[in-house]
Structure 1
Amino acid sequence: MTDIAAITTPGVSFGLAGPSEKLDPAHLPVRGDLAHIRLAGKVFVPHYVVPMPHRVNGAGTQVFSAARTDAEVLADLPTGTPFQVLDLAGSWAWGQVGTDEGGVVGYVPAAALHAEP
């Protein structure tokens, strides 16, 4: 059996304090499996991710509520719009519009994005 004292960090408290903060999933990059690194210490998820900066290419694209074209459209993005990719899965990117907090969070076709240097 593992000794709990051996695997805890001495002098560090991980207790909960106060009520949970209400989250706005439309503008806060957090899912059940991962969140933006800036949310570490604010939300509890298995993985925190450093965003990969991208821009919308071609004729623009749309942000969807799910990784499918028949999902609700959350926003229209013109060419050149910054998009912070937090997850790439198949032909979809999940992330947040813009370069700072507050942009719409959702799914964009990965082919509609190009990575910034």
Structure 2
Amino acid sequence: MADVRLAEYVFAPHYAAPLPYRTRSAVTLREGRPLDSAVLAELAPGETFEVLELAGGHAWGIAPHLGLVGYCEAGLLERVQ
């Protein structure tokens, strides 16, 4: 899966439009879903996280201010309307 904004640059079998979310509290951004996955960054409360997929209690997406893609706990995010 790839961000639909990359469609003209990258081929992927599926594309997703990012949905804007905000962190409710401090959130750990990880390389993978397991809690022992490498930590990429710590997101502060109120930071934007663009969700591409929600599954199994995890969100996969982009921390745009850092330019990082990773997983975090979905329950620590709130949808921005």
Q: Do these two structures clear the TM 0.5 threshold for a shared fold by scoring above it?
A: yes
| Separation in 1, partners of 2:11, 2:5 | 12
Match of residue 52, structure 2, among 76, 86, 105: 86
The percentage of aligned residue pairs carrying the same residue is 41
Q: Structure 1: where are the runs of 5+ without partners? A: 1-33
> How far has the Cα of 1:98 moved from its partner?
2.4
Show the counterpart of 1:6.
Answer: none
Show the counterpart of 2:78.
Answer: 114
Show the counterpart of 1:37.
Answer: 4
Q: Structure 2: where are the runs of 5+ without partners? A: none
Residue type at the aligned position of 1:42: Y
TM-score normalized with structure 1 length = 0.66
Relative contact order, CA 8 A, sep 6+: which one is greater?
A: 2
> How far has the Cα of 1:66 moved from its partner?
0.2
Residue type at the aligned position of 2:20: P
> Which runs of 4 or more aligned residues in structure 1 lie more than 6 Å from their structure 2 counterparts after TM superposition?
none
Aligned positions of 1:1-117 closer than 5 A:
34-58=1-25, 60-98=26-64, 103-117=67-81
> How far has the Cα of 1:69 moved from its partner?
0.9
Q: Is the 8 A contact 1:54 1:84 kept in 2?
A: yes
